[in-house]
Structure formats: C-alpha cells, structure tokens
Structure 1
Amino acid sequence: MTTLTFELPDGSTESVTVTTLLNAGYAGRDQAEVASHIAELAELGVPAPTTIPAMYPISPYLAQQTSEVHVQHGHTSGEAEWALVITGPTRDDVLLTVACDHTDRDLEVHSVAWSKNASPDVLGTGAWRLAEVADRLDDITLRAWVGDDETLIQDGTLGDLLSPDHWLDVLTERGLFRAGTVLMSGTVSMVPGVDQFANSWKVELRDPATDRSLTCAYRTVAMPSPIG
C-alpha cells in the first residue's frame, strides 16, 4: 500500500496509508458546460458516462507523490485537480491538496475508468486542513502549466467544480468516509490550442486570502518499446 505524507502550514505533518482511491469525473457545477464537453468527447470516440457526475475507483497504489510518471506512448496527459485526503473519522480530519490525474488518452476511447488506471494520480506534498479554508473554497484558484516553457493550459477556481462537501456526502452515503480514502475532484476546462501531450505538468492551488499555494509537478518518462 502507498503511504502519503503531507506538510501543513503550521509545519506539522500528516501521514495516511491509501486504502481507497476515487476519481470524480464530469464534475463541473455548470452541467450545461459538462454536457457540451461530453458531446465534444463523443466526437473523439470517448464513451459518454451513464451517470453525471461520475466516480471511478482507482487502484490505491496509483496515489503517488512523485516527480516522474512513466508512460507507454506519447498520447497521455494530465488534468489539474484538487484532492481530499481523509485521515480520521470526522470532517475535521480531511485534508485538501493539489493533484494531477495523468490519463491515457488512447485507452480513454475504450473506457474512462481503464484510462485512469493506466497512470498515477500525482498528489502534492503540502496540504491544508479543509475546515480551515472552508469559508473561501470557491475563491481558491486551480491552474496548470505544461512543457519546458510552462505554458498555461488550465485556469479556474474551485468554484467551477462540485464542492468538497458534495463529495464528502457521497462518500458518507456509500460507506467510504474513512481514514485512507482519497478522492480526486475532476478537472476544469483546458485552454484551446495548447498541446496537452507535453513532457511535463505543473499544477497549483493558490489561496488568494493568504497568498499560500500548493503545487505538484512531474515529468513524463517514456517506457522502453515492448518486445512481442
């Protein structure tokens, strides 16, 4: 199992062994925009979800704090997200961190769930207690940059996505609110015209009230070609 360790603003650390990893999908608050996005994906051959929003179970060991993501080909890319990390039995025990869901786009046309199990969910090493930023969540920005020149590819706020409380309610209803559960938020729209198939990704959460930020960043590493 994977154990994640996070540094909090006061200098303390929290560690948790991941037992359940979940990726939310189609999780924008503007469901008309989500429907438009689904239609765009359908033109690329990506199957539509049967339920909106969706939630995909991911192998727990794919929750990683890493600077490298090994990929099988050049048609993979990340998605800027926030993540909830549950460390104890109450909502005071929930951490908020920055994350990037690296996805196999070739596999995505066959199954979104399969595509998200092909690469890790990269999480930052810093976190905030959710309760301490709950009064200003919608104002926290979520941005991503790609490539050596750090081209901006995603730019939104947490207000663009379904709230952490929404997903905590879902976890509670399903008996998944427990220490060791990590939930990824789903992502915001990409900037048109930017090549998402870059060799590096950087994601940032920034709290404008305190000017504090959380980041995660990694480079992709091509695996050797298969034999046979």
Structure 2
Amino acid sequence: MVELTFEFQDGSGTRRGSERIVDLVIAGWTGRDPHKVQEHIDELAALGIAPPASTPCFYRAGVEMPTTATRIDCLGDESSGEAEYVLLVAADGSWWVGLGSDHTDRKVESYSIPVSKQMCPKPVAPVLWRFDEVAPHWDSLEIRSWVEEGGERVLYQQGSVAAMLDPRETVAAYARLGSRSGQALAPGSLMFGGTLPVIGGLRPRRVFAMELHDPVLGRRITHRYEARWLPG
C-alpha cells in the first residue's frame, strides 16, 4: 500500500491528512453518450488500440502508482497524460473527489492496455472535495488540461464531467463485477473515473497541467507535473 497526504476541503473548512491507498482502479470507456464513447474508440483505434468487449471496463493497477509529486519518471518517450476526476473512499467510508492524470505509455497501449496502465506513475492533485457537497450539482463540474508544445501552453482537453457516467453509476458497475470477482470499491480505494476526448489527438508530451472547476461553489483543483523520459 501507499500513503498519500491531501488537503480535505468541505463546508467545515480544510484539514490536512493522510490516507492509505490499498486498491487502485482505473475506469475506462465511461462515457454517457455512446457517440462520444465511439469517438474515443476511434481515437485509440487510430493508434492500433483494440476496444474492450464491453463498457464500462475496469483496469487494476499497482497501489504504488498514485503520486502527488510534480515530477515523475517514465521509461521511453511515448507517454502522455489524461485528466480525470478521481474518487477516493476514505478509511471511514466517506467519498472524496479529486483530480488525477492517467499518464499512459502510448506505445505499450497499442498492444496491451492493462500493461500500459502499469508503465507510468499516476499523478493526483493533493486536494480533495467531499463528494456529498458536489453531488447535487455534479454535472456542472468541468475538466481541462493543457500540454506544452513549442514552449507554449496548449489546450489539450476540455469538457464537463457530464460526459462521463455519474461516479455512483461507475462504482455500481464495478460492484456488479465485484460480485463475481470478489472485488468492491472498499475503504482505501482510489478510482479514476474516465477521461474526455483529446483536442488534436493523443500524442506524447512531457509537461501536463490539469484543472477541476466547480463553478457552483466557485473553486478549482489544479495540478501540474513534468515527466522525465528515461532512455530505453
């Protein structure tokens, strides 16, 4: 297991604390709109990546992968980030929402998505919001990400979390699978909730910035990190 330190923000204020991550789940193909899901399938198909047999689907990854660091190491020069909301089930069973990047090796992804999920650390922002406080206006939340190209910041993803399944539906889908596999989203679990289409196509980039915006409560979670590409 790994222990991460976060700022937990809710209506009573902000507290700093640590949570042990005992299970990492990466949800995929979680789009609500089947046409958008197909768009993502086509996006990956252009890279030679086969779609799953059914959607949504779930990939397990090592619990040592999540990190709040602003620098990560990746083997080779074929990786890039994907901004997603993340859901943490705390030790007391409460749900917390944050922001993460499913940083993935695109070359490995072309022949094995599960293996690609193990290739790179998964950066997460060190701030979490209580889920109960955003649930009433969940679909208003917005995700954006940027990459650096030619020394300039370029918009890479933009959209509402309404493009993805509500996290309660995603967790329920995972629980249905768990009834057969013995797995469920238990305390200590961190789930990546799915991503938005990329503007201009998936491409390897070292510098990645992301934002989760709550326009109703007027707050943002932001995070920026840089990948060091190690020679292969």
Query: Counterpart in 1 of 2:118?
Result: 117
Is structure 2 residue 215 aligned with structure 1 residue 219?
A: no
- Give the secondary structure class of the aligned counterpart of 1:12: strand
In structure 1, the residue matched to 2:186 is 178
Whether 1:191 and 2:199 are equivalent positions in the alignment is yes
Equivalent position SS for 1:11: strand
How far residue 5 of structure 1 moved from its aligned partner, in angstroms, is 1.6
Q: Which amino acid aligns with 1:127?
A: L
Q: RMSD between aligned alpha carbons?
A: 1.6
- Choose the corresponding residue for 2:51, options 37, 41, 48: 48
1:200 maps to amino acid:
V
C-alpha distance in 1 between matches for 2:205 and 2:122: 17
The alpha-carbon deviation at position 191 of structure 1 amounts to 0.9
Matched to 1:58, the amino acid is: A
1:4 is aligned to 4
User: In structure 2, the residue corresponding to 1:209 is in which secondary structure?
Assistant: coil
Tell me, yes or no, if the aligned pair for 1:146 and 1:201 is still in contact at 8 Å. yes
3-state DSSP of counterpart to 2:58: strand
> What's 1:132 paired with?
133
Cα distance between partner residues in 1 of 2:55 and 2:25: 15
1:36-115 aligned at under 5 Å gives the runs: 36-88=39-91, 90=93, 93-115=94-116
Instruction: Determine the C-alpha separation between the residues in 1 that align with 2:138 and 2:169.
Output: 13
- The alpha-carbon deviation at position 171 of structure 1 amounts to 4.2
C-alpha distance in 2 between matches for 1:121 and 1:128: 19
- Aligned with 1:138: secondary structure? helix
Percent identity over the alignment?
29
Cα deviation, residue 216, structure 1: 1.8
SS of the residue 2:152 aligns to: coil
Q: Is the deviation greater in 131-140 or in 196-205?
A: 196-205
Give 1:89 deviation, angstroms: 5.1
- Please report the TM-score for the alignment, with normalisation by the length of structure 2: 0.90
Mapped partners of 1:200, 1:182: distance in 2: 23
* Range moving further from structure 2, 40-49 or 65-74: 40-49
The gaps in structure 2 that reach 5 residues or longer are none
- Unaligned 5+ runs, structure 1: none
Shifted more, 26-35 versus 16-25: the winner is 26-35
* Higher strand content, 1 or 2: 2
Q: 1:146: which partner in 2?
A: 147
Query: Residues 74 and 197 of structure 1 are in contact (CA less than 8 Å); yes or no, is this contact kept in structure 2?
Result: yes
How many Å separate the matches in 2 of 1:125 and 1:220? 18
Secondary structure of 1:186 counterpart: strand
Deviation at 1:27, TM superposition (A): 1.1
Counterpart among 205, 209, 212 of residue 202 in structure 1: 209
1:208 Cα shift?
Answer: 0.3
